[in-house]
Structure 1
Amino acid sequence: MRRITETIRQNYDQLSPSERRVAGFIVDHLDDLATYNSVELSRQCDTSKATISRLFRRLGYASFKEAREELRRLRQSGVPMPGPKLQAGGSLIDRHLASELQNLQRVTRLAQSPLLADITEHLADAGRIAVIGFRNSYPVALHLRQQLIQIRSAVQLLPQPGQTLGEELADLTPQDLVVLMAFHRRPAGFKALVRTLIQRQIPVLLLCEQDSGLATLKPNWLLELPLDSVSAFDSYALPMSLVSLISNLLLHHQLDRGRARIEQINQLYEQTEELDLNLNV
């Protein structure tokens, strides 16, 4: 993405008027560009296919198709790609909300499958649960751990700030469970981590983006979630919604134990005065 926009900026003064028109469209529609073919792009810019081909060669690509494939790879890897400029009337907001609703419909399909029931049972039965999240996945992992720790004991968030994973993983056994959040732009050692866990026969629940290609790692459970949005940044509405759903499923799976633990935690809040629970103020 940076290559295209920087090359356009560097060469803009040398472009013809029709090429400038195409270049402006590219900059304003980076997120959508991967969905066009050369005929559609020429129609959108009211120019010829020859002009499209000439411009992309000037930008350093053999063809528009090569540039389009690069944009697709960037978008799938999680690189923020600005969409079209905001139009009058809040159209971007409407498109954003429609996209969020479409993503959230995935929860309905998941809820109708036996997969979540199996995951819930293992969350209840595991000796320990280690929740791991890297980079953008960390807030989702943190939220899941915060919900689970109110329902059951022995839930860790890894890695701790400034720490490495080796020491933490050494004590995990096949009776435990690792919930691994790995949405887009994963660290270099991610696949080695999954393979290591599987080799040690530690059950792995992997949550990642749709079409991740991570099924080849063969985790025990794989939940691929759409993060689609209408503009530059991924949407984490669905992962957060799924965290809430999984937590509620676990609570109702062991309702008596869960209620007792929640009550115990609330009593500790009162005794330590850690939280202000006075609703009358």
Structure 2
Amino acid sequence: MPSPLDERLRARYAELSPQERRVADFILDHYDDLISYNSAELARLSGASKPTVSRLFKRLGYSGYKALRDELRALRQSGVPLVDARTLADGDTLPARHYQQELANLNRCLAGLDAARLGEAAAALATAGQVLIVGQRNAYPVALHLRQQLIQARGRVRLAPQPGQTLAEELVDLTPDDVVVVVAFRRRPRLIAPLLKSLKQRQVPVLLLCEPEARALTSLARWPFPVPLDSLSAFDSYAAAMSLASLLANAVLHQSLAAGRRRIHDITGLYDDLDELEKPSP
């Protein structure tokens, strides 16, 4: 794999002309912002000419500045946090832009949702012998939230792996009558693909939540649900993923509404018996 731009610059810095060093210094000081600049802006901001910028990137092994931006976009799509430093337009605000991006993610997620697939997945989750939810790294909060919602609608819902533990012990007893929910977003652990392949080979049905670009994984799941993670800047957004988790849990509850209501009633009674939750103000 080629060295990242900053490593290439440092390795060849002594060979650069004074004008190229000016561009290099600007890049090293604003590395996370490069994805938001074009070559003309980079030349203007660094105080160099466009030919100088072009020569520098060719010297570093790029066909041009566009090739570098493509490389940075690929890194961003893989989950590497890269800052988008574009300034706000007149009258725009950061919260307003954030709202628009979140709304776009939610619209894209729900507009592309197959209602029949959702219903089939919800029915399977409601009737499975057990439900195992797997989520690690940035997928863990979504997996934990989904488990907390599902456990109120039905029993035998587990989260794996437990802290400091491995997965094999959690998987060994699974059968085709169970369902595994795999929440796996970009920069996921290496074990996700082998896990999905193993479950498919053992005919254990899988519901998968992942980003839309993870096409290599979706074919390994019975019910894949792509979730957009786009954000304004460096860090992915999981608002649409949380919304989808809520939708799934509610759909499961409505599959067995009478039994689910009894379970929720019993859980509420235990809250009171154990005095676990703060009482609402009168």
Partner of 1:42: 40
Where structure 2 has 5 or more consecutive residues not aligned to the other structure, the ranges are none
Partner of 2:34: 30
Cα shift at 1:67? 2.1
Cα 1:15/1:274, change in 2 over 3 Å: farther
Q: Look up the equivalent residue of 2:214 and give its one-letter code.
A: S
Give TM-score scaled by structure 2 length. Answer: 0.85
Partners of 1:266 and 1:3 in 2: how far apart? 54
Q: Is the 8 A contact 1:150 1:261 kept in 2?
A: yes
Partner of 1:119: 121
Does 2:196 correspond to 1:205? no
User: After superposition, where does 1:1-281 map in structure 2 within 5 Å?
Assistant: 3-5=4-6, 11=13, 15-16=18-19, 19=23, 23=27, 27=31, 29-32=33-36, 41-42=39-40, 45=43, 50-84=51-85, 91-110=93-112, 113-215=115-217, 217-276=219-278, 278-280=279-281
Q: Is the partner of 1:218 in helix, strand or coil? A: coil
Deviations 1:32-59 (A, max 9, x none): 35xxxxxx53367457653332121344
Q: Is the partner of 2:152 in helix, strand or coil? A: coil
Cα 1:28/1:93, change in 2 over 3 Å: farther
Deviations 1:167-212 (A, max 9, x none): 1100000000000001001212221111001111000111111111
Cα 1:151/1:266, change in 2 over 3 Å: same
Cα 1:156/1:208, change in 2 over 3 Å: same
Partners of 1:61 and 1:217 in 2: how far apart? 34
Cα shift at 1:225? 1.2
* Greater displacement, 244-253 / 139-148: 244-253
Q: Look up the equivalent residue of 2:120 and give its one-letter code.
A: D
Cα shift at 1:245? 1.0
Q: Look up the equivalent residue of 1:83 and give its one-letter code.
A: D
Deviations 1:142-184 (A, max 9, x none): 0000000000001000000011111110000000000000100
Partners of 1:63 and 1:31 in 2: how far apart? 14
Deviations 1:102-137 (A, max 9, x none): 001124314563221111111111110000001100
Cα shift at 1:61? 3.3
Give TM-score scaled by structure 1 length. Answer: 0.85
Cα 1:82/1:271, change in 2 over 3 Å: same
Partners of 1:220 and 1:51 in 2: how far apart? 53
Partners of 2:43 and 2:29 in 1: how far apart? 7
Partner of 1:36: none
* Greater displacement, 16-25 / 98-107: 16-25
Across the aligned residues of Structure 1 and Structure 2, the Cα RMSD in angstroms comes to 3.0
Report the count of equivalent residues.
274
Q: Is the partner of 1:116 in helix, strand or coil? A: helix
Q: Is the 8 A contact 2:183 2:208 kept in 1?
A: yes
Partners of 2:277 and 2:27 in 1: how far apart? 55
Partners of 1:208 and 1:80 in 2: how far apart? 18
Q: Look up the equivalent residue of 1:68 and give its one-letter code.
A: R
Partners of 2:31 and 2:97 in 1: how far apart? 20
Q: Is the partner of 2:159 in helix, strand or coil? A: strand
